[in-house]
Amino acid sequence: MSTRKKATKHRVLRKADTIPPTKPVKSTTSPPLCPLAPPTRDDSPPPFPFPRVTITRGDDVAFEIELALGDITETPSRVILLGQFQGMDPTAAAVNLDEAMNGALFKLINLRRSSHAAGELDIIPTGRHPVMAEMIAFLGLGHWNLFSGEVLASSAHSGLRSLLASHFDEFATVLMGGRLPDKTEIDVRFSLRHMLRGFIQALRDDEDRDRFRRVVIVEKEEKRLREIHSVLRVLVQEEEFKGVRTTLCASKLPARTRLEGAKLRTAYKLQETNLVMLSMRPGETKDADPTLEAILHISSGAAAIVKRERLFPTSKIEEIYDAAGVNTQRGVDTLTKLAKVSDLVTALMPDGVLAPFKKLKSHRIELIHDAESSRLPWETIALPEGDHPALLGGFSRRFVSDRAAVNWPPKQGDRLRILMLVDPTEDLPGAVKEADAILARLAPNARIDIRCLRHKEATKVRLTAILAEHPFDILHYSGHSGFNREDARFSGLLLNGEEFFTGADALGLTQFPPVVIFNSCEAARIRRRDPVLSRNIPEKVLKRDAAHGAISIAEAFLIAGVQHYIGTFWCVNDDAAALFGEVLYGHLADGKPMGFSVTEARNALAEKGMPDWANYIHYGNPDAEIFPTKG
């Protein structure tokens, strides 16, 4: 069993905690006791630092808002509070903090795998790293497509209530939720209004509010800090600040210091990537086709955003499944069939989304999608020139779910532990060939421990017992998998004795490997022989919403918190599976990042004319290094 302490989280979003909606400002509102000058225009900004001023509109709540010019890493506040959307890249402030902590911050985030659901707080201690703050708290903002002012206010409310419960009297932050993925500019007024509305309501609701003193808003650009100051001078006169005594002040943080010649290791790589976000919007009527919305963040800059949408004929899904041999269990066994699948999938992408790649240096794609748009083999898409991003810069997916849970086993020293399940049904000689090639490739590395269950050893009872009793870093499965169309939670891996290890079984585990590689048929689809659900389902599994959703074995493990998941979309050829596994593990064992290793394995298949190069799906951070390289 794992002895790692669970991440400090506070899920405090309750119906009673909802923030009242913003009320329109009445013309009879009493003027503040301290008169305010009209907001300053950008062409005539107030001098910095701004004079200290107190605006009294009552004494129900009193706190200070300090505007600090400088780098968030230099704030003397004990706690730094940062907002984080589900599945999105870390903010610039988080990147700076990770750099100051020599990569430790993102390493801890990756290990914890927080879901960043709206209102969820994940507190990470800074330890002895050269950062002034004692703790960094990440406040979940939920899925960007569901984000609103109410979500920001409720999340801010929950975050501050959690900090107040820990007796913190101040914290530093930056503007949260001011720039959504489909926007190029920060909406300062939106961010300030709803952040502060949530903070004020949290103080109103807390009996110990008198203990709290200050919110420090940090900004690196003086021009934007002046804009924040101007917006605040207007906001404090509005309805949300009625009954509040607010003190506005300013400070300048010391210049960020670095050790000359020091080599900083950051977990956030500078590898250029293009982020594609797909989401389905239901049709206006029950029988109407949905709309597929696509947003492309181009690697050349934050302002380079393409947003397009198109009607999504649901009949196309079955047409693609037929072309990919999903319905016939034959898979894609020729390049001609692969070309047809690629054409069908590429045609579904809204016009204009792929065109910018012609001028880009990096063709790497990271895909974020909802459940509906996950059901297609997007790895097959081709650019207008005919090139496939999956073979060029690489193609990975990010899994976003507010149901994710983590219970990581601790690493035992510097050894990597792998559990392999090989040909449980004793009818796949290619699976044995694949396993032998992987074992031969990893054998020289004395720091890798491999436990292999072959044929009759790979039973459901034994697998469940081993996973429950022994921690592993990687679970590798070579065999058959099944997908039940009527209920995808019955999808699973076929083990010896005609038993399936299903999604419900995976959700019932108390510990599981952070990396799972399923070199089997259909294992990676989030939406053969038909699996049958075990009669002995743990009661806690039945009570979990995730176990009742339409999920496959892939989603079950991703919800369970695995960092990386590699699987196949259609039935895979034995020889292709063997070659893919050998090349993948070869590069991983040499210390190469996961994304690079997957791309090289795909190219190895493509060079031999094997259409299964497009079959493999990778969920996870492509820049993560899995295997140790130093002995």
Return the pLDDT at 270.
45
448: left (phi over 0), alpha (psi -120 to 50) or beta: beta
Return the pLDDT at 621.
84
- Distance, in Å, from the CA atom of 170 to the CA atom of 199, rounded to the nearest integer, reads 12
Return the pLDDT at 533.
41
Residue spans of beta strands (DSSP E) within 174-273? 214-219, 244-252
Return the pLDDT at 546.
28
Question: Among candidates 193, 238, 204, which has minimal Cα distance to 31?
Answer: 238
Q: Which position has the higher pLDDT, 331 or 517?
A: 517
* Radius of gyration of the chain, Cα coordinates, nearest whole angstrom: 26
Residue 492 makes CB contacts below 8 A (sequence gap 6+) with: 481, 482, 500, 501, 502, 503, 505, 531, 553
Return the pLDDT at 552.
61
Return the pLDDT at 225.
93
Span 174-221, pLDDT tens digits = 998 866 666 667 889 999 999 999 999 999 999 888 889 999 999 999
| Residue 476 DSSP code | E
Is residue 454 scored above 90 in pLDDT?
Answer: yes
CA 609 to chain centre: 34
123 token code pair? 């507190």
| Residues 612-618, mean pLDDT to the nearest whole number | 94
Span 364-406, pLDDT tens digits = 899 988 777 888 899 999 998 899 999 998 999 987 665 655 4
**Residue 427, number of CB atoms within 10 A of its CB:** 10
Q: Which amino acid is at 72?
A: I
What is residue 141's three-state secondary structure? coil
Name the phi and psi angles at 308, rounded to 5: -140, 160
Domains and CATH numbers, the chain: 46-252 (3.40.220.10), 274-392 (no CATH), 416-619 (3.40.50.1460)
- Distance, in Å, from the CA atom of 335 to the CA atom of 521, rounded to the nearest integer, reads 18
Q: Which position has the higher pLDDT, 526 or 304?
A: 304
Is the bond preceding residue 49 a cis peptide, omega within 30 degrees? yes
Residues 400 and 308: beta-carbon distance below 8 Å: no
Residues 557 and 526: beta-carbon distance below 8 Å: no
Is residue 259 scored above 70 in pLDDT?
Answer: no
Angle among Cα 144, 78, 224 to the nearest 5 degrees reads 50
Residue spans of beta strands (DSSP E) within 345-415? 365-369, 395-398
Residue spans of beta strands (DSSP E) within 220-290? 244-252, 274-281
Angle among Cα 83, 89, 94 to the nearest 5 degrees reads 55
- What does pTM read for this prediction? 0.70
Span 534-567, pLDDT tens digits = 444 334 333 332 222 223 667 767 776 677 889 8
| Residues 121-132, mean pLDDT to the nearest whole number | 85
Q: Which position has the higher pLDDT, 299 or 513?
A: 513
Place of tokens 């009872």: 461
Give the CB-side neighbour count of residue 496, counting CA atoms within 13 A: 16
Q: Which position has the higher pLDDT, 614 or 131?
A: 614
To the nearest whole number, what is the mean pLDDT of the chain?
Answer: 78
Return the pLDDT at 217.
96
Query: Which residues, in sequence order, are bridge partners of residue 492?
Result: 482, 502
Place of tokens 């960020």: 256
Question: Among candidates 607, 599, 630, 615, which has minimal Cα distance to 271?
Answer: 599
Angstrom distances, CA of residue 326 to CA of 191, 313, 323, 377, 531: 46, 19, 8, 11, 16
Query: Which residues, in sequence order, are bridge partners of residue 219?
Result: 69
- Distance, in Å, from the CA atom of 545 to the CA atom of 9, rounded to the nearest integer, reads 20
**412: confidence class by pLDDT, cuts 50, 70, 90:** very low
Query: Which residues, in sequence order, are bridge partners of residue 471?
Result: none
CA 48 to chain centre: 38
Query: Which residues, in sequence order, are bridge partners of residue 217?
Result: 67, 173
Residues 452 and 476: beta-carbon distance below 8 Å: no
